[in-house]
Amino acid sequence: MLAVCDWSERLSFYHLAGKQVLQPSGSLMSRLTIAQKSVKGPVGIKCGKDRYLGFIPMCMKWIGDLSEYLAIAGQNRKVNLYSYEGCQLGALSEENSWILSSAKHPREKCLIIGCQDGTIRSLTYSLPIVHSFFRDRYAFREIITDVVIQHLVTEQRGRLTFSVSRYPARIKCRDVVEKIAVYRNRLAIQLSDRILIYESALDDAFDMHYRIQEKVMLTFDCQLLLLTSQHIVYFQGRRITCINSQSKVVQEWRAEAPVQCTCQQGGLEEVEGLIIGMSNGQINCQSNSE
């Protein structure tokens, strides 16, 4: 794939044969009307077939283990990170002047930038692993904006079966995936401004077709995220908060020490137990009942 950006402040993608790639709108970006396609819109929004950057780009590099991310910099004095679909993911660095050039290290996760004021800076980037599992279901973040769900049992039999439901499922969120939680046939994905709840068929232990069921419009930062049959539980240091699908706080607890790890114990619906491991070495079992 060929990525092109110019001084009209737009980003576009092309196949090597020269045909432009039509990129879908991101989850945080509304579509422009036909009359607006020739006019500059809000930063990151689609302008016809292109993405509007909101600044004059001076340099651009594919980065990542598989060159799956774009680092674009210029007039905005920032190194912005974009997905392979052109969705803005965040900023890697902010400088005091225009960024005129950049170069990627051939082996390390390192980007060198040169600025208008003569500054040369080395940026080291890393992408933390975001994943979750429950029994035979394992979900992990891929390319920051995608979530892949695997069935750990049928994956071993994948060479012997051709059932589509047994192959890994992929969900394209087109937004930064911050946390993932899996519980039985349910999957929770925390994005920048909401949590999406997906479910697969409850009566089929091997079904891998996930369909969106709920959207929880809530923004928060947390270290850990858990999902139960009816609730979402998130951890912030010593604070433990249980909410429902309407974003209402059902119950709150305060642990004796910061929570380091946790998992679902299972149990009856709406009264599942949670095992909590704290930094002082204690292990507690807590119920999420109202």
Q: How far apart are CA 259 and CA 204, in angstroms?
A: 34
Residue 99 near residue 118 (C-beta atoms within 8 A): no
99 and 243 part of one domain:
no
Q: How many domains does the chain have?
A: 2
pLDDT at position 159 over 60: no
147 and 261 part of one domain:
yes
Q: pLDDT confidence of 113, banded at 50, 70, 90?
A: very high
Task: Decide which of 95 and 135 is more confident.
Answer: 95
Read out DSSP for 69-100?
A: EEEEEETTSEEEEE-TTS-EEEEEEE-SS-EE
217 and 111 part of one domain:
no
Q: pLDDT confidence of 56, banded at 50, 70, 90?
A: very high
Q: pLDDT confidence of 227, banded at 50, 70, 90?
A: very high
For 184-207, write each residue's pLDDT tens digit.
Answer: 999 999 999 999 999 998 888 888
Percent of the chain that is helix, strand, coil (3-state, to 5)? 5, 45, 50
Q: pLDDT confidence of 181, banded at 50, 70, 90?
A: very high
- Percent residues over pLDDT 90 in the chain: 56
CATH number of residue 243's parent domain: 2.130.10.10
120 and 144 part of one domain:
no
6 and 80 part of one domain:
yes
Per-residue pLDDT, 45: 53
106 and 144 part of one domain:
no
Q: pLDDT confidence of 287, banded at 50, 70, 90?
A: confident
95 and 215 part of one domain:
no
Q: What domain range is 273 assigned to?
A: 131-287
**42-60: average pLDDT:** 77
The model's pTM = 0.80
pLDDT at position 41 over 60: no
144 and 273 part of one domain:
yes
Please state, in angstroms and as integers, the Cα–Cα distance from residue 60 to each residue in 73, 97, 116, following that order.
Answer: 7, 17, 16
55 and 116 part of one domain:
yes
Query: What is the pLDDT of the chain when averaged over all its residues?
Result: 84
The phi-psi region of residue 288 (left if phi > 0; otherwise alpha if psi is between -120 and 50; otherwise beta) is alpha
CB-side neighbour CA atoms (13 Å) of 72: 30
106 and 22 part of one domain:
yes
136 and 110 part of one domain:
no
For 22-35, write each residue's pLDDT tens digit.
Answer: 766 544 333 322 22
143 and 267 part of one domain:
yes
What stretches of the chain show up as alpha helix (H) in DSSP? none
